[in-house]
Structure 1
Amino acid sequence: MGRSGCAYARCLTLLVSTSLLLLTFSGHTSERDLQAVERQVVRDVCDRDLVLLGELPGHGEAVGFALKARIVQRLVERCGFDAVLFEAGDYDFIGFEQAVARGDAKAARLDNAIGGFWSNVELAGFRSWLFDQAVRRRLVVGGIDDQPGATSRHASAVMPALVAAQLPATDAATCQQAVARNLDWTYDKTHRFDAPERERLQVCARQALARYADNDASSDRLMVESLFHYFSRQNRSPEGRERDRSMHRILDWYRERLPKGSKVVVWTATSHAAREQGALPWKPLGALLAGAGETDMATIGFTALSGESGRRGSKRARLPELPDDALEARALTSGAQARYLNNQALRAHDGRTSRLFGKAQVDRWSRHFDGVVVVREERAPTFPDATEPPK
């Protein structure tokens, strides 16, 4: 029986690996160009301990998603990376990890943790591969954001009671109800998401967090602290860490728990991966890591010259046109459908306009990224409950 189970697991991994390799985008991006970019990125970052892979901040580009998935798989299988962390709430990944430890993890739980941006058809095989690797204890899959998402089922199920359990009886019920209202978003005419409610949420989370020791490294404390910073930002309080500082904190928590010598890949937006703040209105995660002395890190930006972007339930939209001398246009003058610019090649495009941070702007891109992937034509993802995003 054990041998049959192992054979089945190996076959499943092979099937998923093959499906990732055969992903094509008929008429959009040639397979040959995608394979070349994949090889070049993996070659450049294989020996790093930490790799930040970006994407356009709209989180709605199918070609980039599928290419990132292939790169992540190669980093795990060929370069020894043993953790994949998403720009998604830590709560449901912790719930998934607990389910793996109990032996009752389900793929739907991991899908909920990963969230709606990446729950598309193009990444179905990748998510299956992640699940298989995680339940076989070959890979840690986690989240580094403090924001609960629309699919954060574990956060809704456990956080109200977890906060209440740390509070005196006089406050516990009120706080539990307030946290549940927020995470389930069940506001009505009686209970509104107004200034008093935002203050109440922050105070509840602050009081609960105060009951934990500063050196408590438990997942419960991590989640309560995440909720405190999330509620504090909702309340526009200076106590709330900026999202990237919160992501830095959660990333550190994961890395401290991993075995010595572990290698981590972070799936995030290009604007969070940047090594320097530049014109960004906040200090990005990549810059925070660099400022903390992270020397064995690679940051890879993703961008596109043209095409469409879309999210679940939203209208797909054309990417705004770029000038003829934009980084994206100049990088693809050879006619390639996708291209990877390593840091040396990227220097030739410093001072050019690019949409790497979303809005077209000029910057010294080689100071932000070790490399950049440019796709000629993006397309909006498709989702299991629809053939395509609404027009």
Structure 2
Amino acid sequence: MDRIVRDACDKRLVLLGEESHHGSARTIAFKVELIRRLVEECGYDSFIIEAGLYDFLRIQERLGAGEPVDEAMVADAVGGMWANQEMAPLISLLTRQLAAGTLAVGGLDDQVNRGTYAQRDMSRELMAHLSGPRREECGAELERYMTWRYDDTHRFTAERASFIQGCWKELESVLASPAAPVTPRTRGHLRMARNLDRFFERQVAVMSRPPEQAGAARDWSDFDHRSRSMFMNLEAFLDQTPRPRKTLVWLATIHAAKSLASLEKDGRPPTSFGAHVQERFGEQAFVLGFSALSGSYSLSVTPRRFVLEPALEDSLEARAFSPPATQDTRYLARDQLRDAGPRAARPLSYAWVTTAWETVLDGLLVFREERPPTAAHR
């Protein structure tokens, strides 16, 4: 860990990846301890995670009003995907730092986390800004969506998604009008409406798209749109204070990656969130990925377990633990990734990808054995 702290300490942004199933306990525990050290030793003063921004905006509103924020609120904002015991020390750290005013915390995503303020109460609060029949019409459809009361009689279609998007666009117009009051609450509600507009725009596009043809190149437009939306939220988060922040970003490695050109040999490759970060911050950003030689993982906090297939003989993971290596973890810095040349590795989703990994990551931590996380007691 000391080498990673040294590599990351003087950066403005550190992107901490994880494989896309979000079910690797040792990765999560390592990231939690690394965050503590970077905050305490290197002056990092903000944290943003690949979760819906809505509950985090509500937390900001409460703090601004002098209201308390507890660990349950922070855990809800982080989301059920990381509702595990390995994450608990980070929830405590974030809650303490928020109360002390020493760490800004936010969400990257425009998606709505289930079981949160965003799903339970946000729509009713936002619809209060509309008037007349539209408040009732939009409110009824949003209530159906947030509680997912769709069936064979009431299907969720592209038309319904478009209707909901229209509600958010109308709300944006109301909150952005010169006559609208400008308060911390209304500013937060406007950011919510803009994100929900982008989220439903993406849903409409996906649901309206014709089925992909067999053998055709994958359509990455949904991924690209989400990457851009997350980067817009990062920029808004960083712009909240006039002085530059040092920011820790928690997300999947496929989003953190500096480039994903290796994923598409025949068509146009996807554009990751990390690519936008690289374009703006360059060498001021540091991207860390994680992988494992062996072990198992889960699909987030679900009971579904998967065993890692044996490492390919000449993969980065196998080379990291080739004799005489006896360590439990091995860290490959960017120069080591570059010297290894194009090689198979599996930090994105535990599927083997062959590429020049220094174009994707600035560092890779490999565990000898990974394991699934332990569900939190909530």
Please indicate, yes or no, whether the TM-score normalized by the shorter chain is above 0.5.
yes
**In structure 2, C-alpha distance between the alignment counterparts of 1:343 and 1:100, rounded to whole Å:** 40
5+ residue gaps, structure 1, are: 1-37, 387-391
Please name the residue that 1:326 is paired with. 315
**In structure 2, C-alpha distance between the alignment counterparts of 1:45 and 1:384, rounded to whole Å:** 29
Structure 1 pair 200–76 and aligned structure 2 pair: CA distance change class (3 A)? same
Please name the residue that 1:336 is paired with. 327
Q: Which amino acid aligns with 2:306?
A: A
Please name the residue that 2:121 is paired with. 157
Instruction: Please give the secondary structure, in 2, of the residue aligned with 1:236.
Output: helix
Q: Which amino acid aligns with 1:43?
A: R
**In structure 1, C-alpha distance between the alignment counterparts of 2:282 and 2:191, rounded to whole Å:** 22
Q: Is the 8 A contact 1:322 1:360 kept in 2?
A: no
Please name the residue that 1:275 is paired with. 258
Say whether 1:133 aligns with 2:84.
no
Q: Is the 8 A contact 1:61 1:309 kept in 2?
A: yes
Structure 1 pair 190–277 and aligned structure 2 pair: CA distance change class (3 A)? same
Please name the residue that 1:33 is paired with. none
Q: Deviations over 1:76-98 (max 9, x none)?
A: 00100000101000001111222
Instruction: Please give the secondary structure, in 2, of the residue aligned with 1:300.
Output: strand
Q: Is the 8 A contact 1:300 1:369 kept in 2?
A: yes
**In structure 1, C-alpha distance between the alignment counterparts of 2:197 and 2:282, rounded to whole Å:** 27
Instruction: Please give the secondary structure, in 1, of the residue aligned with 2:262.
Output: coil
**In structure 2, C-alpha distance between the alignment counterparts of 1:266 and 1:319, rounded to whole Å:** 26
Q: Deviations over 1:105-140 (max 9, x none)?
A: 121111000011222111212211211111111111
5+ residue gaps, structure 2, are: 209-220, 264-268
Deviation of 1:168 after TM superposition, in Å, equals 4.9
Please point out which of 33, 37, 40 is paired with 2:3: 40
Say whether 1:362 aligns with 2:358.
no
**In structure 1, C-alpha distance between the alignment counterparts of 2:23 and 2:316, rounded to whole Å:** 21
Deviation of 1:271 after TM superposition, in Å, equals 1.1
What number of residue pairs does the alignment pair up? 348
Q: Is the 8 A contact 2:262 2:354 kept in 1?
A: no
Q: Is the 8 A contact 1:91 1:152 kept in 2?
A: no
Q: Is the 8 A contact 2:19 2:347 kept in 1?
A: yes
Instruction: Report the identity percentage.
Output: 34
Please name the residue that 2:305 is paired with. 316
Please point out which of 175, 179, 182 is paired with 2:138: 175
Deviation of 1:166 after TM superposition, in Å, equals 4.7
**In structure 2, C-alpha distance between the alignment counterparts of 1:305 and 1:258, rounded to whole Å:** 42
**In structure 2, C-alpha distance between the alignment counterparts of 1:103 and 1:206, rounded to whole Å:** 30
Please point out which of 333, 352, 364 is paired with 1:372: 364
**In structure 1, C-alpha distance between the alignment counterparts of 2:314 and 2:67, rounded to whole Å:** 54
Say whether 1:289 aligns with 2:277.
yes
**In structure 1, C-alpha distance between the alignment counterparts of 2:38 and 2:177, rounded to whole Å:** 35
Deviation of 1:212 after TM superposition, in Å, equals 4.2
Instruction: Please give the secondary structure, in 2, of the residue aligned with 1:211.
Output: helix
Say whether 1:252 aligns with 2:235.
yes
Q: Which moved more, 1:56-65 or 1:293-302?
A: 293-302
Deviation of 1:259 after TM superposition, in Å, equals 4.5
TM-score, normalisation: structure 1: 0.83
TM-score, normalisation: structure 2: 0.86
